[in-house]
Structure 1
Amino acid sequence: MTERAVHSVISGMSYTECPRWHEGRLWFADFYTDAIYSVTEAGEDLRTEVEVPAQPSGLGWLPDGRLVFVSMKDRKVMRRESDGSVVVHADVTDAVTGHPNDMVVDGEGRCWLGNFGFDLMGGADVETASLLRIDPDGSVTEVAHDLWFPNGSVVTGDGGTLIVDETFGNRISAFTIQSDGRLGERRDWARFGDLPTSRVVAEAVPQAVLAPDGCCLDAEGCLWVADAVGGRVCRVAEGGEILEEIMPGSGVFACMLGGSDGRTLFLSCAPDFDEHARSAAREAEIRAVRVDVPHAGLP
């Protein structure tokens, strides 16, 4: 474990997710205050960017600069127009089996969207899920299936590879993005352990060696990965070697490289991911730590 100084950027939130560095500010969703916010690198000038009554999650920007974001509980991807109005970009109700969650938007304006696959907060058994591609015109296509809670995702800088965390699968998967938007066969980008032997959440979670949640890519081709059950963020090389581990003193569920030089690692921290506990409290923070290698790829 590397000793690095971790400091608080913003506090008093419910459960922050999907941090993104965009145009000199850190953007993030806060699940249970139903909004997307932005703040400076120093934690100043907190702005409510858009209210999302059905719970925000993944977010990104189309090539023309319009914001797109997940509205989890009504199973839609929304779009904020240049005049500030909010419209439905895609309705994914018929294409998901759980809440849509994190997504990455690539340089072509395609949204790559995962979903829970089952009712996590309601205590249902684990079920695998599909990965969706949402084209700029809002059309929805299933591009991969049988993923164990597809979660944080990145697109490499050349636009040719999609990397997807599978939180319940002890693995990170990679797909070649073909010229027509189809994905090649799934392959292991990193594997930390076996697939769970039980689909009961309380039995599957302890089998996680590393439960990859949110992630981001650096300029050496490594991923910073939040471990949803381990209270740590890890720098992982392709193949699965953990090169560095940082313990921020809390649960950590997402991360993003940004700041003026791309070397500030922002961490979405909270005591746990339990919906009932987090929605009733304001104990979440975004913390930050300086690292050596800058950001690369998308988001």
Structure 2
Amino acid sequence: MALAPRFSVLVSGYTFFESPRWRDDHLWLSDFYTHQIIRVDRQGRVEKIADVPQQPSGMGWLPDGRLLVVSMRDRKVLRREADGRLVTHADLSSVANGHVNDMVVDAQGRAYVGNFGFDLMGGGAPHTATLARVDPDGSVHAAAEGLYFPNGSMITPDGQTLIVAETMGNRISAFDIQPDGQLGPRRDWAAWGPLPAMTDVPSVLGALKAAPDGATLDAEGAVWFADAVGHRVVRMAPGGEILESISTGDQGAFACTLGGPDGRTLFICVAPDFLEHARQAAREAAIWTTTVNVPGAGRP
């Protein structure tokens, strides 16, 4: 693995990192194929927080500080109790047609959860997906339909807007959040190409000019996203102007977040590719860091 210019390595030797979250002066991470949640301090020291046998992904916290984490394969959101036990918070099987993936939790404890929409790793035909809303009591609701692989999700600092990266849609979408958590109509936050025909995965990937995966907001209202097909991280303004693009060289970039003491450290989840069989068999995932000018804002 060649370290691209301007980056430093915080931690390495894992399978496939996703859903980085900065909280309590630590970076929290899901590692897909060791099935664990870890947190890492600024010196790179690792502490294991929990085991999620059905593959962890998105994370967030309830107002009382309890952790919520996606359990991908059984399509659940789990809750970590004060004593460290993981219990089922919600079962998304009624909404999700594929592995559940990224998630953002709002100030009221409502979780907005994406899913693949189809069996990506098993070779299924691509299909749009329904974004789920999980209320604090664990009830599950369809929040938005017809999304093209809803992935990295963000909530603006005022709590009024949900922004969702659609990895297979050549777009990032936005929704007004109603007081009860329901979403208003979808609108383009940014779009840079036509919606792909959902025929087969290679054709869809070939039609993407960028594939926004894990993403994060900054204090100027721009989105940083990992481009899952472009070996880069991108800072994009509302409307789609690319403000900055940083190459990750020979490594793929699959998620990112802003954190650190001043919110200006960009943490990037890198790995050679996202192929399940290859990542299960290797320990090539890492977190790369670099400093940017504008700090993070909003959620996650």
Bin the TM-score by the shorter chain: over 0.9
After superposition, residues 239-250 of structure 1 pair within 5 angstroms as 239-249=239-249, 250=251
Give the deviation of 1:181 after TM superposition.
1.1
CA distance, structure 1, for counterparts of residue 32 and residue 206 of structure 2: 25
Equivalent residue, structure 2, for 1:295: 296
Give the deviation of 1:4 after TM superposition.
6.3
Equivalent residue, structure 2, for 1:122: 122
Equivalent residue, structure 2, for 1:71: 71
CA distance, structure 1, for counterparts of residue 172 and residue 54 of structure 2: 28
Equivalent residue, structure 1, for 2:224: 224
Q: Is the 8 A contact 2:252 2:272 kept in 1?
A: yes
CA distance, structure 1, for counterparts of residue 164 and residue 213 of structure 2: 9
Unpaired runs of at least 5, structure 2 = none
TM-score, normalising length: structure 1: 0.98
The reply to whether residue 272 of structure 1 matches residue 266 of structure 2 is no
Give the deviation of 1:35 after TM superposition.
0.3
Give the deviation of 1:123 after TM superposition.
1.1
Give the deviation of 1:298 after TM superposition.
0.3
CA distance, structure 1, for counterparts of residue 140 and residue 234 of structure 2: 33
Question: Root-mean-square deviation (CA), in Å?
Answer: 1.0
What per-residue deviation string (whole Å, max 9, x for no partner) do you get for residues 121-178 of structure 1? 1111110000010000000000100000000000000000000000000000000001
How many residues of Structure 1 are paired with residues of Structure 2 in the alignment? 296
**Equivalent residue of 2:179, what SS?**
coil
Q: Is the 8 A contact 2:165 2:171 kept in 1?
A: yes
Unpaired runs of at least 5, structure 1 = none
TM-score, normalising length: structure 2: 0.97
CA distance, structure 2, for counterparts of residue 118 and residue 228 of structure 1: 18
What per-residue deviation string (whole Å, max 9, x for no partner) do you get for residues 191-214 of structure 1? 011111342101110110010100
The reply to whether residue 192 of structure 1 matches residue 192 of structure 2 is yes
What per-residue deviation string (whole Å, max 9, x for no partner) do you get for residues 35-89 of structure 1? 000001231x201111001100001110100000001111110000112111100
Runs of 4+ off more than 3 Å: none
Q: Is the 8 A contact 1:4 1:246 kept in 2?
A: no
Q: Is the 8 A contact 2:127 2:198 kept in 1?
A: no
Equivalent residue, structure 1, for 2:90: 90
**Equivalent residue of 1:12, what SS?**
strand
**Equivalent residue of 1:93, what SS?**
coil
**Equivalent residue of 2:202, what SS?**
helix
- Percent identity among equivalent residues? 58
